[in-house]
Amino acid sequence: MSVSVDVWSDFVCPFCFLVSTSLKRLEETHDIELTWHAFELRPFGSPPPDAQYRQFIAEKTPAMVAMAKAQYGVDIQQGPFGIDSRWAHRATKWAEQQGAGNGFAKAVLAAYWLQGQDISQIEVLAACAESVGLDASNLAASLAEPLYDAAVEEDIALAQQLRLSGVPASVFAKRYLVVGAQPYDVFADVLQQALDPQQPSN
């Protein structure tokens, strides 16, 4: 039986990328239906990060990179800091409408966190779309359509309704909430609980 997994994330959040690695492994071992939902750590239209915050992030980055390598086996090569992720969220809704939302979202995360690309640029998003078999020749015009921005806002509103204050946040079977970039074993345990609620979790 397939289990739904709804994940609220922001593409520029390192822990959202790390959780994608755990979920990718879960997809390989279990029957899940993964859906990505928009969440903006810096809401659309926010001013650029100031120098003090940039310095804070710069100081924290080496520890995050080391942790990603040690615990998740990935070599981080981060894209530009402080970019607007709204276009990437819109593009995910566009890809989702064509049945490729999951693959596209993972391609965007990889582009930013493994390839150091600027995912606020249409050409980068187009390349991600093409990598999962989508025709991105008119992507810029498509993303200008109001329905995709409205879909992003719906995700954000639903996160507020569910009282999700941070990301990543993964909801299994519309019932079990897992917060943070948990390792594969945690997700596998929650998935088993979703499949058999009578079974005690580890």
Residue 46: predicted pLDDT: 83
* Range with lowest mean pLDDT among 9-23, 43-57, 107-121: 43-57
pLDDT of 43 over the 90 cut: no
pLDDT of 162 over the 90 cut: yes
Confidence of residue 199 (pLDDT cuts 50, 70, 90): low
Enumerate residues 6+ apart whose C-beta is below 8 A from 154.
none
In the predicted model, what is the mean pLDDT of residues 144-169?
Answer: 95
In the predicted model, what is the mean pLDDT of residues 140-156?
Answer: 96
pLDDT of 200 over the 60 cut: no
Residue 201: predicted pLDDT: 52
50 contacts 88 by C-beta, under 8 angstroms: no
pLDDT of 190 over the 70 cut: yes
pLDDT of 36 over the 70 cut: yes
Confidence of residue 198 (pLDDT cuts 50, 70, 90): low
CB-based burial label for 51 (10 Å; 0-12, 13-18, 19+): exposed
Task: Give the pairing of strands 3-9 and 32-38.
Answer: parallel
126 contacts 135 by C-beta, under 8 angstroms: no
Alpha-carbon distances of 165 from 67, 82, 83, rounded to whole Å? 23, 20, 21
Please name each of the domains of the chain with its CATH number. 3-195 (3.40.30.10)
CB-based burial label for 186 (10 Å; 0-12, 13-18, 19+): middle
Token output for 192: 């088993």
Q: What is the pTM of this model?
A: 0.92
79 contacts 109 by C-beta, under 8 angstroms: no
What is d(CA 123, CA 41) in angstroms, rounded to the nearest whole number? Answer: 23
